[in-house]
């Protein structure tokens, strides 16, 4: 703890304050401290540091991309996931490499302990329990000066990062029972919403939910399908060695007509349909009640039974989120094959909470009307641990640079999924909890998991977060890839190809082939290529999968690069700050109103605004 201003224990001074110690807060706090800023992290409870309140997993479709990018920049989430995982799988293996996504089951208790210990031992970072009551600003509210807790203590700093998750005036809802508390029965933040409103911010209510946790010994596992982990894939973090990825087994099961009939009979008791929930829910993570309503033709819905951690029988029922009354939940779960005698340890619930309109933020995640005030995570309207951590990392970086009088770091849509995420939020906003998906990235062929380090490690080094070891590993891998690209032009004679092509079931060519053309053959898997590594001098065995994607998608990658260059051209055309667009002749009224409200920083950002069409962009150009 820093020395107090008045030695009374009431006032403390730092370079930055982070409010919240979830996934966004952790990355923000660590980034600030590692960039040599004195930072204090305040959390309602230190028991919820890095707590996985929903599913005990990290990664997934598009989310795995975010974790790899966080790691390349110097963040902590990938390292923590590798250290605490109980199962690792690569999703979308049957599809192209652009949508391959790592997903790990992690021990939620070990993950919390690892992150808490990391914060406690980070030089320059003070971890403190305390609920923030209000923001302290200058007389006109245009500049942040610190925060005040419910105990009257003042923490002063020129930069504050709000990473409050789903705690702002949150309500947990089960049937017609509404409790004023946060996720997993933690205390909620009762006061900060009022301070934000007093500052002029407009708040909205969002909703998310979670399924029940059940006791494994009450499940007939033979009625479910085993889902085992994989061991032949890379880790989230470049800093991790080979990870032990198959410690625990997950299970796949299905609902049935009896489950659906019971839900339909009691739909009037579901809070959403009874009018007790006003918040906008997550479209891509619906409750089982919503699934029954929206997909009436489905005879069954799948779910996954996933371990919460070591040393406990609690399992998470992924896919069966609900807010039905507890007694209906009990009956609902017992209609499922294998769950006839299941015991519920924790009931499913919905949770409503306050969040802000993210279009009020600059791409740096600093608020447009209050200098030094940054927002990150679910308070910005997103859902998911990975989306929160990505925002937290960028908010922490930019808060550190703000304190140091440096220009912010803004990743473009062409550089990273993190750039897509933040640009979507600050440009388009969101009317429901935002979830990252590969389809949101127009350049997803270029933004793959396997090249996240190549895209972002150098940026992380320039910022000052990518440490010596990470940069050394990056340079080694880059050198191997550079040598492999040279080797793609080498010609391999037919005689040498015979064993490989025979085992792959591919017809043997009459003439020699370049390595690039060989890699394009569909039957030649990375495992086979590695087995016959001697045929391809200069290509390291660990680089095969990467080069496979580069060779097979060469034509598409060239097309994507051309489109990327055009977008970057528009991004490089700046627009004046505080321009009155209604004064520009030729702009439609709707476009002028949208442009005046957002004040885009470039022609490229203006082109992505809803209500702005190509003719309007021509006027701007």
What is the per-residue DSSP string for 404-449? TTPPPP---TTT-HHHHHHHIIIII--SS-B---GGG-TTTTTS-G
What's the rounded Cα separation, in Å, for the pair 516 and 551? 6
Phi, psi of 573 (to 5 degrees): -95, 100
In the chain, % of residues over pLDDT 70: 98
Check pLDDT > 70 for residue 7. Answer: no
Q: Where are the beta strands (DSSP E) in 15-170?
A: 16-19, 39-43, 57-59, 85-91, 101-106, 125-129, 132-137, 144-149, 154-156, 159-162
In terms of Cα–Cα distance, which of 84, 74, 65 is closest to 31?
Answer: 74
Structure tokens that stand for 61 in this block: 């479709």
Residues 463/397, Cβ–Cβ less than 8 Å: yes
pLDDT at residue 19 in the model: 98
Give 2's pLDDT tier (boundaries 50, 70, 90): very low
DSSP three-state, residue 380: helix
Q: How many CA atoms lie within 13 A of 404 on its CB side?
A: 17
Q: Would you give the end-to-end CA distance of the chain in angstroms?
A: 53
What's the rounded Cα separation, in Å, for the pair 260 and 296? 9
Task: Say which residue, 512 or 18, is predicted with more confidence.
Answer: 18
pLDDT digits (tens, 9 = 90+) for 337-387: 999 999 999 999 999 999 999 999 999 999 999 999 999 999 999 999 999
Spatial CB neighbours of 74, under 8 Å, sequence gap ≥ 6: 31, 34, 460, 463, 465, 466, 467, 470
Check pLDDT > 60 for residue 124. Answer: yes
Q: How many CB atoms lie within 10 A of CB 407?
A: 9
Give 494's pLDDT tier (boundaries 50, 70, 90): confident
Structure tokens that stand for 407 in this block: 């220009």
DSSP three-state, residue 377: coil
pLDDT at residue 245 in the model: 58
Q: Is 567 exposed, middle or buried (0-12, 13-18, 19+ CB in 10 A)?
A: middle
Beta pairing partners, 315: 214, 307
Check pLDDT > 50 for residue 409. Answer: yes
Structure tokens that stand for 216 in this block: 């494994």
Give 588's pLDDT tier (boundaries 50, 70, 90): confident
Q: Are strands 101-106 and 57-59 parallel, antiparallel or unpaired?
A: antiparallel
Give 570's pLDDT tier (boundaries 50, 70, 90): confident
In terms of Cα–Cα distance, which of 377, 380, 433 is closest to 209?
Answer: 433
Rg (CA), the chain: 26
What's the rounded Cα separation, in Å, for the pair 564 and 560? 6
What's the rounded Cα separation, in Å, for the pair 243 and 246? 9
In terms of Cα–Cα distance, which of 289, 283, 286, 449 is closest to 382?
Answer: 283
Spatial CB neighbours of 113, under 8 Å, sequence gap ≥ 6: none
Residues 400/393, Cβ–Cβ less than 8 Å: no
Q: Which of 330-334, 354-358, 538-542, 603-607 has the lowest mean pLDDT?
A: 538-542
CA dihedral 230, 301, 56, 128 (to 10 degrees): 150
Residues 315/305, Cβ–Cβ less than 8 Å: yes
CA dihedral 138, 144, 146, 148 (to 10 degrees): 70
Structure tokens that stand for 113 in this block: 């302990």
What's the rounded Cα separation, in Å, for the pair 614 and 593? 16
Structure tokens that stand for 219 in this block: 């499940």
Q: b or e along 239-254 (b: 16 or more beta carbons within 10 Å of the residue's beta carbon)?
A: ebeebebeebbbbebb
Check pLDDT > 80 for residue 396. Answer: yes
Q: How many CA atoms lie within 13 A of 148 on its CB side?
A: 12
Q: Which DSSP category does 522 fall into? A: T
DSSP three-state, residue 275: coil
pLDDT digits (tens, 9 = 90+) for 170-203: 999 999 999 999 999 999 999 999 999 999 999 9
pLDDT at residue 246 in the model: 61
Q: Which of 99-103, 248-252, 524-528, 546-550 has the lowest mean pLDDT?
A: 524-528
Check pLDDT > 60 for residue 3. Answer: no
pLDDT at residue 437 in the model: 94
pTM of the model: 0.92
């Amino acid at each position: 703890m820093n020395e107090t201003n008045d030695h009374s224990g009431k006032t403390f001074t730092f370079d930055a304050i982070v409010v919240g110690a979830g996934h966004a807060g952790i990355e923000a706090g660590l980034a600030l401290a590692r960039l040599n800023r004195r930072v204090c992290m305040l959390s309602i409870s230190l028991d919820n540091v890095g707590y996985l309140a929903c599913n005990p997993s990290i990664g997934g479709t598009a989310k795995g991309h975010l974790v790899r990018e966080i790691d390349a920049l110097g963040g902590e989430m990938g390292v923590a996931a590798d250290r605490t995982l109980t199962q690792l799988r690569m999703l979308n293996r049957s599809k192209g490499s652009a949508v391959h996504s790592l997903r790990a089951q992690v021990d939620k208790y070990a993950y919390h302990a690892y992150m808490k210990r990391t914060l406690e031992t980070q030089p320059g970072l003070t971890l403190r329990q305390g609920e923030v009551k209000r923001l302290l600003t200058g007389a006109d509210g245009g500049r942040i000066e610190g925060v005040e807790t419910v105990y009257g203590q003042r923490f002063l700093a020129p930069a504050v990062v709000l990473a409050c998750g789903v705690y702002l005036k949150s309500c947990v809802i089960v049937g017609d029972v509404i409790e004023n508390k946060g996720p997993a029965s933690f205390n909620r933040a009762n006061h900060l919403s009022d301070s934000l409103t007093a500052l002029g911010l407009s708040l909205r209510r969002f909703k998310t939910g979670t399924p029940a946790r059940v006791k494994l010994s009450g499940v007939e596992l033979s009625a479910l399908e085993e889902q085992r982990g994989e061991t032949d894939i890379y880790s989230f973090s470049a800093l991790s060695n080979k990870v032990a990825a198959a410690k625990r087994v997950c299970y796949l099961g299905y609902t049935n007509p009896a489950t659906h009939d019971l839900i339909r009979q009691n739909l009037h008791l579901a809070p959403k349909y009874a009018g007790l929930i006003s918040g906008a829910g997550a479209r891509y993570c619906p409750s089982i009640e919503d699934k029954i309503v929206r997909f009436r033709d489905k005879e069954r819905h799948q779910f996954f039974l996933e371990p919460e951690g070591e040393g406990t029988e609690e399992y998470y029922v992924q896919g069966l989120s609900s807010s039905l009354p507890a007694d209906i939940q009990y009956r609902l779960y017992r209609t499922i094959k294998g769950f006839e005698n299941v015991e519920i340890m924790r009931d499913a619930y919905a949770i409503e909470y306050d969040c802000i309109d993210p279009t009020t933020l600059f791409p740096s995640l600093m608020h447009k009307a209050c200098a030094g005030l940054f927002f990150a995570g679910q308070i910005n309207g997103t859902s998911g641990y990975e989306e929160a951590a990505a925002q937290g990392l960028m908010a922490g970086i930019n808060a550190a640079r703000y304190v140091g009088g440096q220009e912010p770091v803004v990743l473009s849509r062409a550089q990273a999924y993190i750039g897509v995420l933040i640009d979507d939020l600050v440009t388009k906003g969101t009317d429901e909890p935002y979830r990252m998906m590969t389809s949101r990235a127009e350049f997803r062929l270029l933004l793959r998991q396997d090249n996240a380090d190549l895209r972002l490690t150098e940026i992380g080094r320039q910022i000052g977060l990518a440490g010596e070891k990470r940069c050394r590993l990056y340079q080694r891998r880059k050198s191997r890839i550079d040598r492999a690209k040279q080797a793609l032009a080498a010609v391999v004679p037919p005689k040498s190809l015979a064993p490989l092509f025979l085992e792959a079931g591919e017809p043997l060519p009459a003439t020699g082939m370049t390595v690039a053309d060989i890699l394009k053959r569909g039957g030649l898997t990375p495992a086979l290529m590695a087995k016959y590594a001697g045929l391809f001098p200069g290509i390291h065995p660990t680089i095969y999968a990467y080069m496979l994607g580069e060779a097979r998608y060469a034509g598409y990658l060239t097309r994507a690069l051309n489109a990327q260059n055009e977008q970057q051209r528009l991004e490089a055309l700046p627009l004046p700050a505080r321009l009155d667009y209604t004064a520009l002749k030729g702009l439609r009224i709707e476009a002028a109103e949208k442009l005046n409200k957002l004040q885009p920083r470039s022609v490229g950002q203006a082109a992505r605004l809803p209500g702005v069409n190509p003719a309007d962009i021509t006027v701007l150009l």
